[in-house]
């Protein structure tokens, strides 16, 4: 026969485990109630279509009928040996990415430096510089198409300035720079906000000490400011690289790849192949190659810049 003391000891031993089990169950239920819907949506919208796309990259499917023919690596062989437009679009996209990433970050950083000065109009300027980012790429492209075709032509007629009389969307070289101008104008404001947050965390006492020691603005920028905002540089480079590689809406609405496909970026080339030419399997093969390249480039960029952060 158990004594009251032994019963109390039994309760003391077994209750914590029972209570912990209930707590863990509540935590698990709460976790899946919050995370479950988002994870399910991510799987349905992103993961499942992604793996389906990988499968269709090895097929000859037109994207409409139910006749899906497995062709193995034939799509990739065709792209690497015969599809000249794919190679042209790929090289053009790389060129555009290099130019757009550099200019967007330089302009964004310059704007951030400007609005973090003690100016009365700094808040207004921040709003003005960020506003282009709020306009969708398609709408922005149509607006700038009107500016390049009608606005610049009118100014050129009145002033005879060569810059405004150029065939901005009618020539391959000027059309390329037209896309760059629009993309930088749209993206620099967003990058500016990230750099502003980083610049505001730079200790002012270090800058004041450097000034007392005789350092000029360029030396302060090079040796103090830029090393301390290295994490922001990593984020901005990652964003601008991914944006530039995936540029589509601005390219579509501004030039539609013209003239004569001279400005057809890779994303637009994939769209045309899959949904205009009705060669969905070939389009998916292009998209898979595109995904691997973008993932490799962005991973390498993050690795290198993160390493420089540690060294700094």
| Residue 86 in domain | yes
| Domain coverage including residue 158 | 74-311
Q: Give the torsion sign (CA, 146, 150, 154, 157).
A: positive
- C-alpha distances in Å from residue 310, one per residue of 230, 237, 296: 9, 17, 21
Do 46 and 98 share a domain, yes or no?
Answer: no
CA angle 95, 244, 76 (to 5 degrees): 70
Q: What is the pLDDT of residues 91-127, one digit of tens each?
A: 999 999 999 999 999 999 999 999 988 778 888 999 9
Total number of domains in the chain: 2
Q: What is the pLDDT at residue 279?
A: 94
Do 114 and 175 share a domain, yes or no?
Answer: yes
| Residue 64 in domain | no
Do 97 and 37 share a domain, yes or no?
Answer: no
Do 150 and 13 share a domain, yes or no?
Answer: no
Do 252 and 127 share a domain, yes or no?
Answer: yes
How does residue 31 score in pLDDT terms, banded at 50, 70 and 90?
confident
Do 167 and 110 share a domain, yes or no?
Answer: yes
Q: What is the pLDDT of residues 232-270, one digit of tens each?
A: 999 999 999 999 999 999 999 999 998 889 999 999 999
Do 110 and 248 share a domain, yes or no?
Answer: yes
| Residue 65 in domain | no
Do 50 and 175 share a domain, yes or no?
Answer: no
| Residue 149 in domain | yes
| Residue 117 in domain | yes
Do 18 and 95 share a domain, yes or no?
Answer: no
| DSSP symbols for 180-219 | HHHHHHHHHHHHHHHHHHHHTTS-HHHHHHHHHTT--HHH
Q: Which among 266, 281, 284, 288 is positioned nearest to 88, based on CA atoms?
A: 266
How far is it, in rounded angstroms, from Cα 160 to Cα 110?
31
Do 49 and 78 share a domain, yes or no?
Answer: no
pTM surpassing 0.85?
yes
| Residue 68 in domain | no
What CATH number has the domain bearing residue 138?
1.10.3720.10
- DSSP code of 47? I
């Amino acid at each position: 026969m158990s004594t009251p003391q032994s019963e109390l000891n039994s309760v003391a031993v077994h209750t914590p485990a029972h209570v912990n089990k209930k707590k863990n169950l509540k935590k698990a239920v709460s976790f899946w109630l919050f995370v479950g819907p988002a994870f399910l949506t991510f799987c349905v919208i992103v993961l499942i279509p992604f793996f389906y796309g990988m499968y269709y990259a090895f097929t000859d499917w037109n994207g409409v009928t139910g006749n899906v023919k497995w062709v193995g690596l034939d799509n990739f062989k065709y792209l690497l040996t015969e599809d000249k437009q794919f190679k042209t679009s790929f090289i053009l996209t790389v060129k555009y990415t290099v130019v757009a990433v550099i200019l967007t970050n330089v302009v964004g950083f310059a704007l951030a430096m400007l609005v973090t000065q003690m100016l009365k109009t700094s808040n207004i300027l921040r709003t003005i510089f960020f506003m282009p980012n709020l306009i969708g790429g398609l709408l922005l492209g149509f607006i700038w198409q009107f500016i390049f075709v009608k606005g610049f032509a009118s100014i050129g007629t009145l002033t005879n300035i060569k810059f405004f009389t150029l065939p901005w969307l009618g020539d391959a070289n000027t059309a390329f720079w037209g896309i760059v101008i629009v993309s930088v104008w749209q993206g620099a404001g967003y990058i500016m906000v990230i750099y502003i947050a980083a610049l505001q965390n730079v200790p002012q006492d270090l800058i004041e000490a450097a000034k007392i020691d005789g350092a000029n603005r360029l030396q302060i920028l090079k040796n103090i400011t830029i090393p301390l905002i290295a994490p922001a540089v990593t984020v901005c480079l990652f964003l601008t690289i991914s944006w530039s590689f995936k540029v589509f809406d601005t390219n579509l609405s501004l030039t539609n790849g013209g003239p004569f496909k001279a400005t057809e970026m890779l994303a637009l080339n994939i769209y045309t192949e899959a949904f205009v030419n009705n060669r969905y399997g070939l389009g998916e093969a292009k998209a898979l190659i595109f995904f691997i390249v973008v993932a490799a480039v962005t991973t390498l960029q993050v690795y290198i810049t993160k390493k420089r952060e540690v060294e700094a």
